[in-house]
């Protein structure tokens, strides 16, 4: 039996799922999961990260965030932009974005299909800049993969995203 390769994406990570849940709670539920506005998503997730990693939060509640985590903000925000690039690429490849969101009342995941994507030209440029940035040798999103094969799959994933999104320019 051949071993299956791990999926290399931000959307498939615990961090990615957390960020999708933030989007679901703060943005998507308000529009009944009908549309994903990339501009609003960037602001929503940036606000979440800033609040989560802010100096005041870790001082008020040291268990919430370690002080050294605030230095990881650029890496987290790069991860968020890669996550949104994955959503954009998925939308243009499949015609929708699929998300499983935990329904706290039923304690089960509910699948949602987002069929409308709002994407402005400046966001396309921003996502492409972010993908070029995280594609650079030595970036922490590459270095996190200790296995050379995983690093290569990650770089291939980024290249695929860049190719899909560059068609939108």
Assign 105 to helix, strand or coil.
coil
Domain chopping of the chain, boundaries? 14-55+63-167
What pTM was computed for the model?
0.86
Tell me the per-residue pLDDT of 99-125, one tens digit each, with 9 for 90 and over.
Answer: 988 888 899 989 999 999 999 999 999
- Judge contact between 36 and 87, C-beta under 8 A: yes
Whole-number pLDDT of residue 145: 84
Please, which pLDDT band fits residue 4 given cuts at 50, 70 and 90?
very low
Pairing type for strands 108-114 and 97-103 reads antiparallel
Q: Long-range contacts made by residues 67-75, C-beta under 8 angstroms, separation at least 24?
A: 73/49, 75/140, 75/141
Q: Mean pLDDT in the chain?
A: 86
CA distance 70 to 68: 5
CA distance 103 to 116: 22
Please, which pLDDT band fits residue 67 given cuts at 50, 70 and 90?
low
Tell me the per-residue pLDDT of 11-47, one tens digit each, with 9 for 90 and over.
Answer: 988 899 999 999 999 999 999 999 999 999 999 999 9
């Amino acid at each position: 039996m051949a071993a299956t390769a791990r999926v290399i994406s931000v959307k498939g990570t615990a961090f990615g799922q957390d960020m999708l849940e933030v989007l679901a709670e703060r943005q998507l539920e308000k529009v009944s999961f009908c549309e994903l506005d990339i501009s609003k998503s960037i602001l929503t997730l940036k606000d979440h990260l800033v609040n989560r990693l802010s100096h005041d939060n870790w001082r008020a509640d040291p268990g919430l965030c370690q002080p050294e985590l605030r230095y990881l903000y650029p890496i987290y925000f790069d991860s968020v932009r890669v996550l949104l690039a994955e959503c954009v690429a998925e939308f243009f490849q499949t015609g929708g974005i699929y998300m499983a969101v935990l329904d706290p009342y039923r304690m089960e995941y509910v699948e949602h299909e987002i069929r409308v994507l709002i994407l402005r030209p400046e966001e396309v440029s921003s996502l492409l800049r972010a993908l070029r940035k995280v594609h650079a040798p030595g970036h922490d999103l590459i270095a996190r993969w200790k296995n050379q094969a995983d690093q290569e799959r990650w770089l291939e994933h980024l290249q695929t995203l860049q190719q899909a999104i560059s068609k939108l320019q």
